[in-house]
Chains A and B, each alone.
Chain A
């Protein structure tokens, strides 16, 4: 469990939507540019790291009960994307870090993954 404020600090994020004082307690981390995988393997209460800065990403996150979305590699969302995130009550942030670096930083600080495939059980716990 990690508060979104801490995640924003670790990744030097710009905040586009979501009040930092809100209760964004993040249970897991997941990273994908493939929304099909987010729908199939994520769990509620996760933060999603992605390079896909589209309205579909926000819709998918809302459907899958993702708490916050972070666009990596310095991707800037369109006003329409920010507006949908605000409408759905999703926190939306951006970082200059690459997907690999951002995941590594969060994992090394204790955030654990959500995308556990049944066929390949992980042994990190």
Chain B
């Protein structure tokens, strides 16, 4: 499918105060492209949750968004500790967040399940000591 729009964003781990910049920018771009507001909300929530995960747990990541006439695809490729057990990480409420993350209102173990909830297709791969890759696809129609 032809790409209407594609852009990559670099996300730095650890910078919790600036977290969310890439996702808010993505939301603004999708609004300018005239995408349906419900679709934008789902994309924005999924990308924001993914961005927060990078900020909280990884060193850095590249988040790429690609808009085609039929769907929006987000890939997040991080350089980080990886997830030893994806099945456990996908459970609501499971979290390894620090007190600092919790003080900011995050790290409640809702991130990955919420990404899955908002996605039409969700794939996750992880290698311990190397990093985690997410693929999120949300249909436009």
A positions within 8 Å CB-CB of B:
32-40, 44, 52, 54-57, 59-60, 62-65, 88
**Other CB < 8 Å A-B pairs besides A56-B16, A56-B19, 16 of them?**
A33-B105, A35-B104, A36-B107, A36-B108, A36-B114, A37-B108, A39-B49, A44-B41, A54-B104, A56-B104, A56-B105, A59-B19, A62-B24, A62-B27, A63-B44, A65-B37
B23: CB under 8 A from chain A?
yes
Q: Which 3 residue pairs are nearest across A and B when measured between Cβ atoms?
A: A35-B105, A59-B20, A36-B108
Contacts from B to A (Cβ < 8 Å): 16-17, 19-20, 23-24, 27, 37-38, 41, 44-45, 48-49, 104-111, 113-114, 117
User: Closest chain A residue to B40 by CB distance?
Assistant: A65
CA distance A35 to B56 in the complex (A): 14
Complex interface: chain A residues within 8 A of B16 (CB): 56
Q: Which residues of B contact A39 (CB under 8 A)?
A: 45, 48-49, 110, 114
Q: Judge whether B106 and A63 touch: CB under 8 Å.
A: no
B interface secondary structure, majority? helix
A34 proximity list for chain B (CB < 8 A): 105, 108
Cβ B110 vs Cβ A36 within 8 A = yes
In the complex the two chains form, what is the Cα distance from A106 to B111 in whole Å? 29
A-B contact pairs, 12 of them (CB 8 A): A34-B108, A36-B106, A36-B111, A39-B49, A40-B110, A44-B37, A52-B104, A54-B105, A60-B105, A63-B44, A64-B45, A65-B41
Which chain A residue has the least Cβ–Cβ distance from B108? A36
A40 touches B41 (CB 8 A): no
> Is A40's CB under 8 angstroms from B114's CB?
yes
